[in-house]
């Protein structure tokens, strides 16, 4: 982080003139006031971030282009969409960039929510739906399979209701990390009534064992009624730069664009994403590091005599005695992980791969705290 403590204090002073009660911290009590990182000694294993990023290529691009940030970045947006389309085998008109993939998912929920109900698996990341829900979105949760996987049979039955306009599912899923078998998801997508659009959130797909055979992108290419979203926040380690995208048919892409915020993309994020997109060496290293950290976590889970769900992402969903008590006990040691996802899953705690030294601290503490 290249913002000096004095810089922050200057910001704080300016802010306090306008709004005296507001503290300039991003994660109150846990954030080092000199930057965006947690305070020294805190292992932040809570938000599925990737400590390897941003890649050096992206840092260089941001530094080189910082002086040009007084321009609106429309042309860079077009360039990145074209680069993404070229690699993924679709014209740029199929690619919709967003302020993180969250923005395009929110846009989808706003657009399709006007047509009808949105189905969501009960145990799934759903933050991009919060704003549409506040706007009155009709959505329905669908129960999980007994193994905590997404229950495609139950979703298919629920989608038969005539009011259903969209299904939003994450593959791999968050917080479970589990991947749906590609053949099952393909058959499911083909079985849906034409009025139902399938939104597959592939935020973690590039970290999976075999992304090429697991992705639903070929369905988009074949003209199916499906939207796939991806992000620069995970593989590329750029969560704070807020760049993500959807890949969809031109008609669905145009609908998403109509529901996006106006001019929501930022110049440093676009510069970084354009540089990182072709940085194959970094992407390979990032996958390797995440996989290594996941193995350390899996070994710790086995040593602690418990289980984790089979994850293909940069986190594990670990079975403990009581997830809220476990997260509190870990926090006592300066290690931040997720407590219970909801009352239906009190025994499962999610831990992200994070920095290797932080992962090692978690691994060392787990056997003692698993029964907390």
236 vs 282, beta carbon nearer ligand PLP: 236
233 vs 353, beta carbon nearer ligand PLP: 233
State the Cα–Cα distance between residues 333 and 225, nearest whole angstrom. 48
31 vs 233, beta carbon nearer ligand PLP: 233
Name the 3-class secondary structure at 159: helix
Q: In the complex, what is the shortest distance from the CB of residue 350 to ligand PLP, in angstroms, rounded to a whole number? A: 10
> Among all chains, which residue has been given the structure tokens 């990341």?
125
287 vs 350, beta carbon nearer ligand PLP: 350
Q: In the complex, what is the shortest distance from the CB of residue 365 to ligand PLP, in angstroms, rounded to a whole number? A: 24
Q: Considering only CA atoms, which of 242, 256, 251 is closest in space to residue 104?
A: 256
Binding site for ligand PLP (CB under 6 A): 48, 100-102, 125, 170, 174, 201, 203, 231, 233, 239, 244
267 vs 313, beta carbon nearer ligand PLP: 313
Q: In the complex, what is the shortest distance from the CB of residue 153 to ligand PLP, in angstroms, rounded to a whole number? A: 22
Residue 286 DSSP code: H
12 vs 30, beta carbon nearer ligand PLP: 30
Judging by DSSP bridges, how do beta strands 197-201 and 243-247 pair with one another? Answer: unpaired
Q: In the complex, what is the shortest distance from the CB of residue 201 to ligand PLP, in angstroms, rounded to a whole number? A: 5
Question: How far is C-alpha 102 from the geometric centre of its chain's CA atoms?
Answer: 8
Q: In the complex, what is the shortest distance from the CB of residue 99 to ligand PLP, in angstroms, rounded to a whole number? A: 8
State the Cα–Cα distance between residues 40 and 233, nearest whole angstrom. 23
Total count of residues recorded for the chain: 372
- Which residue lies nearest ligand PLP, judged by its C-beta? 100
Two tokens, residue 30: 């846990």
351 vs 369, beta carbon nearer ligand PLP: 351
Give the C-alpha distances (Å, rounded to integers) separating 73 from 54, 94, 139: 20, 19, 35
Quote the strand ranges of 175-322, DSSP E: 197-201, 226-231, 243-247, 315-319
Evaluate whether 31 touches 39 at the Cβ level (below 8 Å): yes
State the Cα–Cα distance between residues 65 and 270, nearest whole angstrom. 10
Q: Considering only CA atoms, which of 363, 368, 353, 299 is closest in space to residue 51?
A: 353
Q: In the complex, what is the shortest distance from the CB of residue 239 to ligand PLP, in angstroms, rounded to a whole number? A: 5
Evaluate whether 306 touches 320 at the Cβ level (below 8 Å): yes
43 vs 370, beta carbon nearer ligand PLP: 43
Q: What are phi and psi of 199, to 5 degrees?
A: -105, 115
Q: In the complex, what is the shortest distance from the CB of residue 233 to ligand PLP, in angstroms, rounded to a whole number? A: 3
Q: In the complex, what is the shortest distance from the CB of residue 14 to ligand PLP, in angstroms, rounded to a whole number? A: 27
């Amino acid at each position: 982080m290249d913002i000096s403590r004095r810089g922050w204090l200057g910001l704080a002073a300016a802010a306090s003139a306008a709004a005296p009660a507001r503290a300039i911290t991003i994660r109150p009590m846990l954030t080092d006031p000199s930057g965006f990182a947690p305070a020294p000694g805190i292992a932040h294993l809570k938000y599925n971030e990737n400590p390897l990023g941003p890649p050096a290529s992206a840092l260089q691009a941001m530094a080189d282009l910082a002086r040009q940030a007084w321009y609106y970045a429309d042309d860079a947006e077009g360039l990145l969409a074209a680069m993404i389309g070229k690699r993924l085998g679709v014209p740029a008109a199929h690619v919709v960039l967003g302020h993180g993939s969250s923005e395009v998912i929110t846009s989808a929920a706003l657009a399709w929510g006007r047509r009808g109900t949105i189905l969501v698996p009960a145990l799934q990341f759903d933050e991009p739906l919060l704003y549409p829900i506040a706007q009155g979105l009709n959505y329905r949760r669908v129960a999980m399979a007994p193994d905590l996987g997404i229950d495609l049979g139950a979703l298919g039955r629920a989608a038969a209701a005539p009011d259903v306009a969209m299904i939003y599912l994450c593959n791999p899923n968050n917080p479970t990390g589990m991947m749906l078998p590609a053949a099952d998801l393909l058959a499911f997508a083909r079985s849906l009534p034409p009025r139902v659009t399938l939104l597959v959130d592939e935020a973690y797909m590039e970290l999976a064992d075999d992304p090429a055979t697991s992705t639903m992108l070929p369905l988009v290419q074949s003209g199916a009624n499906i939207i796939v979203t991806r992000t620069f926040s995970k593989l590329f380690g750029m969560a704070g730069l807020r760049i993500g995208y959807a890949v969809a048919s031109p008609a669905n892409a145009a609908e998403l664009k109509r529901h996006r915020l106006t001019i929501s993309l930022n110049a440093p994020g676009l510069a970084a994403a354009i540089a990182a997109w072709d940085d194959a060496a970094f992407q390979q290293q990032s996958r390797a590091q995440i996989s290594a950290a996941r193995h350390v976590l899996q070994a710790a889970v086995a040593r602690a005599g418990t289980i984790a769900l089979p994850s293909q992402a940069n986190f594990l969903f670990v079975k403990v005695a009581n997830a809220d008590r476990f997260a509190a006990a870990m926090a006592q040691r300066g290690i931040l992980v997720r407590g219970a996802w909801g009352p239906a899953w009190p025994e499962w705690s999610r831990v992200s791969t994070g920095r290797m030294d932080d992962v090692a601290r978690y691994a060392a503490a787990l056997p003692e705290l698993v029964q907390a």
